[in-house]
Amino acid sequence: MDQASSWSLFVIALGISAAGYVAIVLDLEVSRFIYGQASALLLGIEIASLITVFVLVLVLRSRLPFTSAPAGFCRSILDFFAIRRWHASVKLCLGGLLALPVVWFVHGNQWLFRMLSWMGRRALAMSDVQAALDGGAVAYQVILLGGVPLLFALHMVCRWKPRNRILPWLLVPFFFLGVFVTTLWIVAGMHSSS
């Protein structure tokens, strides 16, 4: 019974991964919704995947405190997907990962905010505005696709050396350097395939 329960936890973690991947890949539909050109089907899938991630994380978090949950390496993996018992440096990196595309978008598209203040919603009909919004969504895609695996690796290192208080913080700059390199690699791959 305990083994079946453990397997169900890993199935939930796999579901979180799949739904999270779908949410990242389809995030372009959010920007298209803003300017009124979203596909109803794809937007519905995007919303459903975000809700699925949220629900599955809550289910996993509620089941992990029981004694039947696995320990050791497997528990560290499950804790990552449950966003549970994360080291403070991992939380900081997640916050940075979510903030980077916003900072990039605001810094690189100041003209967009001026145009929206002058023209209001009429500016959303302009192709330059639509391209900028799509660019922000793509920035989230590539940064999250490159950054989440690195976040998982940082989480596992923090669990591997739980008593070391300095190592997790020393790895934070390397995490962001890795995000930068993987983002460039993904973007270069996207351009070479098109």
Spatial distance between the Cα atoms of 20 and 31, rounded to a whole number of angstroms: 18
Chain segment 157-166, per-residue pLDDT in tens: 999 887 888 9
Residue 185, C-beta contacts closer than 8 angstroms, at least 6 positions apart: 146
* Phi and psi at residue 39, to the nearest 5°: -80, 125
**What is the residue extent of each domain of the chain?**
1-85, 86-194
Q: What tokens were used for 70?
A: 């696995």
Assess contact for 30 and 137: CB atoms under 8 A.
yes
**pLDDT in the model for residue 1:** 40
Return the number of other C-beta atoms located less than 10 Å from residue 47's C-beta. 15
Residue 193 has a pLDDT of 72
Highest mean pLDDT among 60-64, 112-116, 176-180: 176-180
Give residue-wise pLDDT tens across range 104-148: 999 999 999 999 889 988 999 999 999 999 999 999 999 999 999
Q: What is the pTM of this model?
A: 0.87
Per DSSP, the three-state class of 27 is coil
Quote the DSSP letter at residue 194: -
- At residue 66, does pLDDT exceed 80? no
Phi–psi pair at 70, nearest 5 degrees = -65, 165
